[in-house]
Chains A and B, each alone.
Chain A
Amino acid sequence: MVHYKLIYFNLRGRAELARLVLQHQEIVFEDFRFEREEWPKYKAGTPFGQVPVLEVDGKPLAQSNTIARYLARQHGLAGQNDWEQSQADMYVDCIHDLIGGTRPIIYETDKDKQKEMFQKFLQDVVNPHLQKVEQQLIKNGSGFLVGKSITWADLAYYSFFSPMMERLGEAILDSTPHLKKLVAHVGNIPQIKKYVETRPKTAL
């Protein structure tokens, strides 16, 4: 049995997609979390001075999407063939871009300014993307983003939009009912639901 140790801050952040992949497939792993003050202690031991890092039988793998993709491919959540795997990669890259777009907003300390920035981000970046994704979902016809069954791409959209809905209101997905249904579906999967209810409660 391979030993996985996922190393990250005590946050959801960039490690949550990997955690969701592992939880969905019910794979046992060491969910190693440290507080921000402890970071200097661990930084030098990482390949590129960043986390998350996944140790696979002690061998380190860095970069959040690479880690999640590796786990998805090893454990049947990546897509049924090369083309589907690439489609899933593509969707996860889109989420990666959206996460990047939220960085400056998340760290804005003026709450009024932050609210304004979120509204602009929703309007200029998220909504156009949502419309495109909704079209792709309808075209795919299975309720999932890729192929006929769940992939890590669906988990990535859940991972991003579920906290977004908590923060900005469920109505943000009202114009994209298929995506809203998909996010709700993922949230109701028993092992995901149980994990979300019991995971550490963190701001990010």
Chain B
Amino acid sequence: MYCKTPWRSGFNRLKGQKAGRSRHTIRILQTDLHCSNMPVYKLRYFNNPRRGRAELARLILHQAGVEFEDIRFPHSEWPAIKPSTPFGQVPVLEVDGQVLAQSNTIARYLARKYGLAGKNDWEQALADMYADNINDLLNAAVPPFMEKDPVKQKEMYEKFMAETIANHVVLIEKQLKKNNTGYLVGNDLTWADLAYYAYFSDFLEVKFGSAFLKDAPLLKALIDRVKALPNIKKWTEFRNSKYPEEN
């Protein structure tokens, strides 16, 4: 029921933009062929960090092949945008002009709408549970991220990896083994798998390498599987070249 129009024309337009545009709001515009039965989605977030709390929604939309306006604004524009948000925060998702806030709520809404949430109420709850785990892990990474003293920061990250991450990896490996389908929930891809990919591969693997996955072959296989999904691969290759990783 949704448009199969390629978003390729959107990123061809972006490829043609001159260098230095990153200071200004960048929009990946919808293609000219707008389908009238599709909601108009606008996702708004900072341009720095470029992925941050908006990336899960982007992964869901790209995986589902859904058009959206991926609005990234510089911090200088934030004071003007902030009052228009429901709770003074981003990301926000506009759906035909109505606004939804909170990153996981946005992701869940899109996942449910586009068949990435689980096949029944129980599976949907399991997917929610895994997404909440990732939310906790994102919050746990904030104190070391914010630490200004590089020596102390290194120490905090080492403790974080050796304790918080290592403990969770053991438990998630157990769950993957128990589910025995290669996916976190049921026998198919859900936003839970995308959330784990975004955190463990896109964030941790990029930052710390794959050593922490050495005793977690099922988790490693899952994130590799997500990485290789055609729509995800296409998006991340484009994104990584246009918006290089920023630590």
Q: Which residue of A lies closest to B83 (CB)?
A: A132
Contact B126 A61 (CB under 8 A): yes
Is residue B161 contacting chain A, with contact meaning CB distance below 8 A? no
Contact A63 B132 (CB under 8 A): yes
**Complex contacts, A70 vs chain B, CB 8 Å:** 121, 125, 128
Q: Which of chain A's residues 42-90 have a Cβ closer than 8 Å to chain B?
A: 47-49, 56, 59, 61-63, 65-66, 69-70, 73-74, 82-83, 86-87, 89-90
A129 to B121 alpha-carbon distance, docked (Å) = 31
**Complex contacts, A62 vs chain B, CB 8 Å:** 129, 132-133
Number of interface residues of B (CB under 8 A): 27
Hey, what's the 0/1 contact readout for B55-76 against A, CB within 8 Å counting as 1?
0000000000000000000000
Contact B125 A66 (CB under 8 A): yes
Contact B102 A90 (CB under 8 A): yes
Q: Contact partner of B128 among A63, A94, A100, CB < 8 A? A: A63
Contact A93 B104 (CB under 8 A): yes
Mostly, the A contact residues are helix
A86 to B113 alpha-carbon distance, docked (Å) = 11
Is residue B167 contacting chain A, with contact meaning CB distance below 8 A? yes
Query: Do A90 and B100 form a contact, CB below 8 Å, given A82-B112, A82-B113?
Result: yes
Query: Do A86 and B128 form a contact, CB below 8 Å, given A48-B171, A136-B86?
Result: no
Q: Contact partner of A48 among B87, B104, B105, B133, CB < 8 A? A: B133
Is residue B241 contacting chain A, with contact meaning CB distance below 8 A? no
Is residue A128 contacting chain B, with contact meaning CB distance below 8 A? yes
A49 to B86 alpha-carbon distance, docked (Å) = 34
**Complex contacts, B126 vs chain A, CB 8 Å:** 61
Contact A61 B125 (CB under 8 A): yes
Q: Which residue of A lies closest to B112 (CB)?
A: A82
Q: Which residue of B lies closest to A73 (CB)?
A: B121
Contact B168 A93 (CB under 8 A): no
Contact A82 B168 (CB under 8 A): no
A61 to B118 alpha-carbon distance, docked (Å) = 15
Is residue B109 contacting chain A, with contact meaning CB distance below 8 A? yes
Contact A129 B87 (CB under 8 A): yes
A156 to B57 alpha-carbon distance, docked (Å) = 25
Hey, what's the 0/1 contact readout for B90-105 against A, CB within 8 Å counting as 1?
0000010010111011
**Complex contacts, B95 vs chain A, CB 8 Å:** 83
Query: Do A83 and B98 form a contact, CB below 8 Å, given A63-B132, A70-B125, A90-B86?
Result: yes
Contact A86 B133 (CB under 8 A): no
**Complex contacts, B168 vs chain A, CB 8 Å:** 48
Q: Which residue of B lies closest to A74 (CB)?
A: B121
Contact A69 B86 (CB under 8 A): no
Is residue B145 contacting chain A, with contact meaning CB distance below 8 A? no
Q: Which residue of B lies closest to A94 (CB)?
A: B87
Q: Contact partner of B100 among A48, A66, A87, CB < 8 A? A: A87
Q: Which of chain A's residues 91-129 have a Cβ closer than 8 Å to chain B?
A: 93-94, 100, 128-129
Shortest B119–chain A CB gap in Å is 15
Q: Which of chain B's residues 34-88 have a Cβ closer than 8 Å to chain A?
A: 86-88
A125 to B104 alpha-carbon distance, docked (Å) = 20
A129 to B86 alpha-carbon distance, docked (Å) = 9
Q: Which residue of A lies closest to B104 (CB)?
A: A93
A132 to B84 alpha-carbon distance, docked (Å) = 10
Q: Contact partner of A89 among B86, B108, B125, B171, CB < 8 A? A: B108
Shortest B91–chain A CB gap in Å is 12
Is residue B139 contacting chain A, with contact meaning CB distance below 8 A? yes
Q: Contact partner of A90 among B105, B122, B133, CB < 8 A? A: B105
Q: Which residue of A lies closest to B133 (CB)?
A: A48
- Can you list 12 A-B pairs, Cβ within 8 angstroms, ordered by A? A48-B133, A49-B171, A62-B132, A63-B128, A63-B132, A70-B125, A83-B95, A90-B101, A90-B105, A128-B88, A129-B88, A132-B87
Residues of chain B at the chain A interface (Cβ within 8 Å) = 86-88, 95, 98, 100-102, 104-105, 108-109, 112-113, 121-122, 125-126, 128-129, 132-133, 139, 167-168, 171, 175
The 9 closest A-B pairs by CB, nearest first: A63-B132, A93-B102, A66-B128, A89-B105, A70-B125, A86-B109, A66-B129, A90-B105, A63-B129
16 additional contacts (CB under 8 A) given A62-B133, A132-B86, A132-B87 = A48-B168, A48-B171, A49-B171, A61-B129, A63-B128, A65-B132, A66-B128, A69-B125, A82-B109, A82-B112, A86-B109, A89-B102, A89-B105, A90-B102, A93-B101, A93-B105
